[in-house]
Amino acid sequence: MSQISIEARGRQAGGKNVNRRIRKAGSIPAVIYGPGKESIPLLVNPGDLTRIMHSDSGQNTIFIVNVDGSPHANAMIKDYQLDPVKGNLIHADLIEIAMDRLLEVTVEVEPVGEAAGVKLDGGIMDFVTRAVDVECLPGDIPESIKVDVSHLKINDYIRVKNLQVSEKIRILTDPEIVIVTISPPIKEEVPVVEAPVATAEPEVIKKGKVAEEGEGAEAKK
């Protein structure tokens, strides 16, 4: 794979009005910095950085930054800002990368295959942890860490310590954290129909008897 490079131009740091004019002209403000170095304000093409962010390696992509036509440094996208309404890129922070120094990055975990517990028993795969932190040289950063889930049955799981990676990569995330688990299928509850409660019949007042008793009482007077 050929090395990616982007073109940038040096700029004078300015306020919101200056940055607004920069964006209107088709560029965005950016800065590049490295260990022990002062940050350098830049103008970059937002399309170049957007394509990098949407590539397979995303923010872990290493690319060359050419400043005013001359190669400046290998870099990665450290941080960025999006327009809260339109969602387009409006600012980026780039960090210089030394290819011979270990780097800590976050790498996505990619499940491979269809779990037996899902395919045969109707279970549900719960993808709990989608990325892990690793340490390696910049040239050894993987696009993703693949994990085979095809053997997983109901209630089986894979933890961080079960991930298989190159010996050049050291995983920093807690080894006991669960990556993926297969849960039993959700059973539909059958509604319970309650039997009608028997109620006592209301007592019927025997009017004839009462009347007779009343008449007897009148007769005694």
The CATH number for 40's domain is 2.40.240.10
178: CATH? 2.170.120.20
- Could you tell me if residue 107 is inside a domain? yes
Q: Report helix, strand or coil for 188.
A: coil
Percent of the chain surpassing pLDDT 70: 85
Task: Please tell me whether residues 125 and 47 are part of one structural domain.
Answer: no
pTM above 0.85, yes or no: no
Task: Please tell me whether residues 13 and 74 are part of one structural domain.
Answer: yes
Task: Please tell me whether residues 92 and 15 are part of one structural domain.
Answer: yes
Task: Please tell me whether residues 92 and 107 are part of one structural domain.
Answer: no
Report DSSP letters for 6-56, one per residue. EEEEE-----HHHHHHHHHTT-EEEEEE-TT---EEEEE-HHHHHHHHTST
pLDDT value of residue 10: 93
pLDDT value of residue 63: 96
Work out the burial of residue 147: count CB atoms within 10 Å of its CB; fewer than 13 is exposed, 13-18 middle, 19 or more buried. Answer: middle
Contact 81, 46 (CB under 8 A): no
Task: Please tell me whether residues 51 and 112 are part of one structural domain.
Answer: no
pLDDT value of residue 197: 66
At 206-218, the pLDDT tens digits run 555 544 554 544 4
Among 40, 62, 96, the domain-final residue is 96
Task: Please tell me whether residues 116 and 92 are part of one structural domain.
Answer: no
Task: Please tell me whether residues 82 and 165 are part of one structural domain.
Answer: no
Residues of the chain scoring pLDDT < 50:
1, 210-211, 214, 216-221
Task: Please tell me whether residues 16 and 82 are part of one structural domain.
Answer: yes
pLDDT value of residue 203: 58
Task: Please tell me whether residues 8 and 89 are part of one structural domain.
Answer: yes
User: Could you tell me the residue range of the domain that residue 177 belongs to?
Assistant: 103-183
Work out the burial of residue 187: count CB atoms within 10 Å of its CB; fewer than 13 is exposed, 13-18 middle, 19 or more buried. Answer: exposed
